[in-house]
């Protein structure tokens, strides 16, 4: 007997462990956002674009470094007559015939002044790299809202399933009560049939919402970078966000200062101004310096004897001026100025769009909060209406049509509460996104 009790205890413990292992852990919203930021392919692509912009910035810096060249060449020459290098007894004389020669050299050159071309090109590339970082930040902000929207959509579906299932259980009880009233002759068979039909409709709605929930979970896994067959659980707790808002002007001011696309566009305007400066650089004289070493060895020996080779150091400086820049630069200057104008106008248009987005999100959130108050009142009214109608139905004072209508009002009011609470959460998230604060 003791062994039997122990065996049953071990079996129950194993069963509870298996159930615990099969139940997926609840994934909170903040963890889902973190997973999406780590795994989302769109974010990874934005990071690759940022790395490419940084590489172009490094290329511009590399072009400003001194240029160094080295060369070494071997040749065989045939002379038609004697040849000498130098004069007097120290002259290097090469008789007629063929001979081998090795010629090499090293040159280092640097443009000292090029009309600020190097500096402006480097600054422009750096500004574009910083703008690319801000573009990636904007993509992250968009992804945070997309994940939040998908998460709360699943919450809405899951809570709706719970309400529908509760109503189905209530209809089971009503069906039993209706059958008892039918036996007592209080209601007709048609009244019972209407209740059964309504219960079947609720079961159909439950199947449809469940399939929608499964589809949403599948797409949510793809969004956050989880395997598409991994089972996750969503926190269905609904909590209202803040109800006391700052004045609208505070959100507008913050948005035009914080939104990453505004900052990115400002950097692009500065980059275009640097490129205009770069274009104008050709109108200035260019000054360069160089230093080099030359080596000539007219023998076949790798290590020549003394006085049998020539080597020399050289340093130099040069000034060049493109005279054509006086008359053939108008088109390039116009193109560069046009890029500045386009970026400036784009920034102004962007500010108007952002301000409109903030005002819309602000008003929609206030509307969502006001709708919640109305809907809560409607739930209380629908609950009381159903209680009175059900009491009259039991006493045979009203038919099942009135009862089903009261139940439909109550079910819709309960679903409206869920929708209104979720919509308020999403409206608040849209407001945060509009002001550029949903990454905090």
What's residue 8's pLDDT? 42
Looking at 238-242, 283-287, 423-427, which range is the least confident one?
238-242
Give the tens place of pLDDT for each residue, 320-372: 888 887 788 888 899 999 999 999 999 999 999 999 999 999 999 999 988 88
Q: Which two tokens stand for residue 199?
A: 């219960």
Q: Are strands 233-234 and 26-27 parallel, antiparallel or unpaired?
A: parallel
Give the tens place of pLDDT for each residue, 163-197: 999 888 888 888 888 888 788 877 788 888 888 88
> Please, which residues bridge with residue 297 across strands?
102
Band of the pLDDT at 86, cuts 50, 70, 90?
Answer: low
Q: Identify the CA nearest to 295 among candidates 49, 34, 102, 55.
A: 102
CA distance 102 to 3: 99
Give the tens place of pLDDT for each residue, 108-118: 988 888 878 88
Whether the predicted pLDDT of 272 surpasses 90? yes
Taking the CB of residue 45, how many other CB atoms lie within 10 A of it?
Answer: 12
What's residue 97's pLDDT? 62
Band of the pLDDT at 308, cuts 50, 70, 90?
Answer: low
Band of the pLDDT at 440, cuts 50, 70, 90?
Answer: low
Q: Which residue has the higher pLDDT, 91 or 287?
A: 287
Alpha-carbon 65 to chain mean position? 35
Q: Tell me how far CA of residue 270 lies from CA of 200, 277, 285, in angstroms.
A: 66, 11, 25
Looking at 44-48, 88-92, 190-194, which range is the least confident one?
88-92
> Please, which residues bridge with residue 104 across strands?
72, 295
Give the tens place of pLDDT for each residue, 394-412: 787 887 788 888 888 888 8
Mention every residue, 6+ apart, whose C-beta is less than 8 A from residue 112.
287, 288, 289
DSSP 263-294: HHHHHHHHHHHHHHHHHHGGGS-EEEEEEEEE
Per cent of the chain over pLDDT 70 is: 87
What's residue 134's pLDDT? 92
187, 181 Cβ separation under 8 angstroms? yes
CA distance 94 to 164: 108
Whether the predicted pLDDT of 6 surpasses 90? no
Band of the pLDDT at 21, cuts 50, 70, 90?
Answer: very low
Give the tens place of pLDDT for each residue, 194-234: 888 888 998 999 999 999 999 999 999 989 988 878 888 88
What's residue 71's pLDDT? 86
What's residue 4's pLDDT? 47
């Amino acid at each position: 007997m003791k062994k039997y009790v122990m065996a049953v205890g071990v079996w129950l413990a194993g069963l509870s462990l298996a159930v615990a292992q099969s139940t997926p852990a609840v994934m909170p919203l903040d963890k889902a956002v973190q997973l999406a930021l780590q795994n989302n392919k769109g974010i990874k692509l934005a990071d690759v674009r940022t790395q490419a912009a940084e590489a172009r910035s490094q290329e511009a810096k590399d072009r400003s470094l001194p240029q160094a060249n080295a060369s070494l060449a071997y040749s065989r020459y045939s002379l038609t007559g004697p040849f000498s290098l130098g004069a007097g007894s120290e002259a290097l004389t090469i008789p007629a015939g063929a001979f081998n020669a090795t010629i090499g050299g090293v040159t280092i050159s640097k443009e000292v002044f090029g009309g600020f071309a190097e500096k402006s090109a480097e600054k422009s590339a750096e500004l574009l790299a910083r703008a690319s970082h801000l573009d990636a930040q904007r993509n992250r902000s968009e992804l945070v809202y997309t994940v939040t929207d998908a998460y709360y959509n699943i919450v809405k579906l899951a809570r709706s399933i719970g309400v529908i299932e509760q109503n189905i259980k209530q209809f089971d009880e009503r069906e039993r009560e209706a059958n008892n009233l039918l036996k007592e002759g209080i209601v007709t068979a048609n009244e019972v049939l209407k209740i059964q039909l309504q219960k079947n409709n609720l079961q159909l709605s439950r199947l449809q919402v469940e399939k929608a929930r499964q589809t949403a979970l599948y797409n949510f896994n793809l969004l956050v970078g989880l395997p598409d067959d991994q089972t996750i659980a969503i926190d269905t707790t609904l909590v209202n966000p803040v109800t006391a808002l700052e004045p609208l002007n505070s959100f507008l001011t913050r948005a035009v200062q914080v939104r990453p696309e505004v900052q990115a566009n400002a950097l692009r305007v500065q980059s275009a101004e640097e490129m205009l400066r770069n274009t104008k650089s050709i109108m200035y004289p260019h000054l360069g310096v160089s230093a080099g070493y030359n080596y000539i060895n007219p023998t076949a020996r790798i290590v020549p004897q003394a006085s049998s080779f020539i080597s020399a150091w050289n340093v130099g400086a040069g000034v060049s001026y493109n005279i054509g820049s006086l008359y053939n630069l108008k088109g390039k200057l116009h193109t560069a100025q046009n890029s500045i104008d386009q970026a400036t106008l784009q920034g102004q248009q962007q500010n108007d769009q952002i301000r409109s987005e903030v005002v819309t999100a602000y008003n929609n959130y206030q509307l969502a909060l006001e709708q919640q108050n109305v809907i809560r009142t409607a739930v209380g009214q629908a609950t009381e209406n159903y209680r009175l109608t059900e009491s009259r139905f039991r006493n045979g004072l009203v038919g099942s049509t009135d009862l089903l209508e009261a139940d439909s009002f109550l079910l819709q009011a309960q679903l409206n509460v869920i929708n209104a609470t979720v919509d308020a959460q999403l409206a608040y998230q849209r407001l945060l996104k509009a002001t550029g604060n949903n990454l905090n």
